[in-house]
Structure formats: C-alpha cells, structure tokens
Structure 1
Amino acid sequence: MEVNELKQRIANLSIWKKNGQRAPHKPLLILLSLAQFQQQHTVLPYETVREKLKKLLVEFGPARKSYHPEEPFVRLSTDGI
C-alpha cells in the first residue's frame, strides 16, 4: 500500500458513534502502530500491544464496564487497513 493510499484510508476511517460518544479504538491502535513503527518495529502482534492499547482506551476513551482492545484489530480490516 502506498503512503498516500494509507493516508486516505486513515482519513476515511469509520468511527462508531452513539449518543455523542465515539469509540477511540481504531485511532488509538493506529497511533500506537505508528509509534511502534517509528521505533523500527514492523510487526505488531496483538499479544504485545493488548495491555498498552487497553491502558490507552482507559485513559482516552469514555468510561466503560469493560474494555476491548481486540476490536480494532478486526474492525480496521473493514476500512481496508
């Protein structure tokens, strides 16, 4: 995938919304991925980022009874990423 195509797909991410709340899962995973890539990590296995992503969801997302860091790994594929 070319850089411009990736930028376009990120710009067009579908973000879940309900009652004025947005799910931050996809944007947070993308930011975490970019940070890992900057540190020369080209593979991002779920097992290695699960806890980091969960902490980000707790810190930056709306309060929830439970958090699901696995969601964006599956759902980003519907956005072509």
Structure 2
Amino acid sequence: MKKSALTLLAAMTLVPMLSYASCDSVKADIQQKIIKNGVAETAFTLDVVPNDQADQQGGLVVGHCENDQQKIVYKRTGE
C-alpha cells in the first residue's frame, strides 16, 4: 500500500512538469519524427507561434508547448 501511494505521489508531481515542456525540445522531437517518416529536412518548416496566431500561419498545427501557450505549425516548402 505504501509503495503504491509513493508511486501515485511521484506521478502527480511529474505530470505538471511534462505539460511545461520546452518548445525547443518538443519541436526537435516532432522534427525527428517527420524526418523518420521520409520527409526531407529541407522540405518543411516548423514554427513556434502564440496560440492566437496559429490559424493565421497557413500550416498544420502539429504540437503545442509551454503549457499550451504556444503552437508548433508545420509547413511544406515544396522542395
């Protein structure tokens, strides 16, 4: 019982920290996944923009960071 209580407490402590992930690390993870799916690194861009500007970027929102304050927008460059 004590072990499960400690596990629950540790999980509750770590979850909020995960939601504040650095935009640079989230962007890098997404970039690597796109490249692993066969898209050339020069064929797309990823831009970090405030939530209220994400729809104006003309791309696809593929992630978020900084406690959902920023969005990561994917755009093909046509190369």
TM-score if structure 1 supplies the norm length?
0.37
TM-score if structure 2 supplies the norm length?
0.38
Tell me: higher relative CO, structure 1 or 2? Use CA pairs within 8 A at least 6 residues apart: 1
* Structure with more of its chain in strand, by fraction: 2
Rg larger in 1 or in 2?
2
* Structure with more of its chain in helix, by fraction: 1
